[in-house]
């Protein structure tokens, strides 16, 4: 999946994102604190929630995207607004959910599905009465025309690693399911990246060595890495492993040190997860990363940024405040976020006449952001 354009409005919070466009590979959202960069990531993530039956109070959206079948779709819709309601995940009681009052899905410039209140028209024919709380993508996901749309929207991934120094342990049943599968099958699975990493360590040595090679390139003092994460107790489901603190350990071996080291730094852990995502996320995924620099040491920033820039199988939408990252990424990838009251606008660097020279561009950006900060205050 590749997002091309997005408009979003949250009536509950009176927050509006004017239509913004996206680059196919890397989009770096930059702007002053509180301008709405994180909210943009949440808005994109909410598309996946809606596609999976989520009911979002007061939300209105329109997204244009290229699905994995190379068809361009425009999907738009609107939920009613209920005072005092909260964001729901689609699993709450029906009487607490909010209704979809409008929805439309267009592919190849033809209307596939249109919805108004309780009426849903699919391929020109009215469907039987369906749930008013769930999107047509969820309700019609078994249909041949809708299935690739659902599959594509499920490839929106929010990376929210916080001081990770361990990965999930796996019941033997999960490991056995994938140990003889193709690497493509593992990548396309809904397993978290931590679980995928545990599996490839044991079952896909060649793929794991690629990750290890990139990891060592960032930390040249490390000569080896291992992961202990398969649990013999087959009765513990993977979804409970974190709650039960049933973790696997990431261990490293440093040059000149005889013993393995288990307590690796958060920066090392986060770097490992970023690199793993590059190799193990499904192709054509959208990777959302908020404050890319968090927990990454200065020695990691350059290498990890370079790995992201060199990847052409994923679409990255990231935020950063760190001058080193911003300065290290071409202004051509910048998406400059400004806000006036509740309206958030995202423009390209050329819209602000920012220089193409890296050094001059950063100074130009600072001036633009200072002007926006003055407007907000």
What residue segments make up the domains of the chain, in order of their start?
2-158+320-376, 166-264
Name the strand (E) or helix (H) holding 124: none
For 132, the 3-state DSSP assignment is coil
Cβ neighbours of residue 31 closer than 8 Å, sequence gap 6 or more: 37, 336, 337, 338, 339, 369, 372
Residue range 83-134, pLDDT digits in tens: 865 544 444 444 478 999 999 999 999 999 999 989 999 999 999 999 999 9
Residue closest to 39 by CA, chosen among 294, 284, 281, 339: 339
* Cα 261 from Cα 284, distance rounded (Å): 35
Q: What are phi and psi of 2, to 5 degrees?
A: -145, 115
Residue closest to 272 by CA, chosen among 316, 216, 220, 323: 216
* Cα 3 from Cα 212, distance rounded (Å): 31
Cβ neighbours around 244 below 10 Å, total: 11
Q: What is the DSSP letter of 83?
A: T
In this predicted structure, what is the pLDDT of residue 355?
87
Instruction: Classify strands 315-319 and 26-30 as parallel, antiparallel or unpaired.
Output: parallel
pLDDT in tens, the chain (377 residues): 999 999 999 998 899 999 999 999 999 999 998 899 999 999 999 999 999 999 999 999 999 999 999 999 999 999 999 986 554 444 444 447 899 999 999 999 999 999 998 999 999 999 999 999 999 999 999 999 999 999 999 999 998 654 444 445 566 777 788 888 899 999 999 888 888 888 899 889 999 999 999 999 999 999 999 987 555 444 445 444 443 334 567 899 999 998 999 878 888 888 898 999 999 999 999 999 998 888 677 778 888 888 888 888 999 999 998 888 888 888 999 999 999 989 999 999 999 989 887 778 888 888 888 876 655 65
In this predicted structure, what is the pLDDT of residue 371?
75
In this predicted structure, what is the pLDDT of residue 345?
96
For 142, the 3-state DSSP assignment is coil
Burial, 312: exposed, middle or buried (Cβ in 10 Å; 0-12, 13-18, 19+)? exposed
DSSP 317-329: EEE---HHHHHHS
Q: What are phi and psi of 304, to 5 degrees?
A: -65, -40
Cβ neighbours around 367 below 10 Å, total: 12
In this predicted structure, what is the pLDDT of residue 246?
43
List C-alpha distances in Å: 107 to 65, 111, 222.
10, 7, 49
């Amino acid at each position: 999946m590749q997002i091309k354009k997005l408009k979003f409005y949250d009536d509950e919070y009176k927050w509006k994102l004017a239509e913004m466009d996206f680059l196919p590979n890397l989009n770096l959202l930059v702007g002053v604190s509180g301008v709405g960069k994180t909210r943009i990531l949440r808005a994109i993530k909410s598309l996946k929630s809606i596609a999976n039956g989520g009911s979002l109070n007061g939300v209105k959206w329109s997204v244009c995207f290229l699905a994995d079948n190379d068809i361009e779709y425009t999907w738009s819709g609107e939920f009613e607004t209920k005072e005092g309601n909260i964001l729901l995940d689609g699993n709450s009681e029906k009487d607490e959910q909010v209704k979809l009052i409008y929805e439309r899905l267009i592919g190849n410039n033809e209307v596939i599905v249109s919805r108004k209140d309780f009426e849903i028209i699919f391929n020109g024919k009215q469907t039987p009465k369906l749930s008013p709380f769930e999107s047509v993508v969820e309700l019609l996901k078994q249909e041949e025309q809708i299935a690739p749309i659902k599959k594509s929207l499920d490839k929106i991934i929010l990376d929210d690693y916080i001081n990770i120094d361990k990965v999930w342990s796996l019941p033997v049943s999960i490991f056995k399911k994938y140990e003889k599968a193709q690497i493509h099958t593992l990548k396309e699975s809904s397993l978290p990246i931590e679980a995928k990493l545990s599996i490839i360590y044991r079952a896909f040595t060649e793929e794991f060595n690629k990750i290890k090679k990139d990891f060592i390139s960032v930390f040249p003092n490390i000569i080896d890495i291992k992961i202990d994460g398969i649990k013999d107790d087959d009765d513990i489901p993977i979804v409970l492993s974190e709650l039960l603190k049933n973790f696997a350990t990431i261990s490293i071996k440093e040059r000149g040190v005889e013993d393995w080291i288990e307590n690796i730094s958060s920066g090392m852990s986060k770097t490992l997860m970023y690199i793993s995502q590059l190799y193990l996320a499904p192709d054509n995924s959208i990777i959302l990363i908020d404050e890319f620099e968090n927990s990454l040491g200065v020695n990691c920033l350059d290498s990890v940024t370079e790995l992201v820039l060199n990847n052409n199988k994923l679409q990255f939408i990231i935020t950063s405040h760190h001058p080193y990252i911003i300065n290290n990424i071409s202004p051509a990838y910048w998406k400059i976020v400004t806000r006036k009251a509740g309206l958030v606008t995202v423009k390209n660097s050329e819209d602000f006449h920012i220089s193409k020279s890296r050094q001059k561009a950063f100074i130009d950006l600072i001036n633009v952001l200072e002007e926006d900060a003055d407007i907000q205050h």
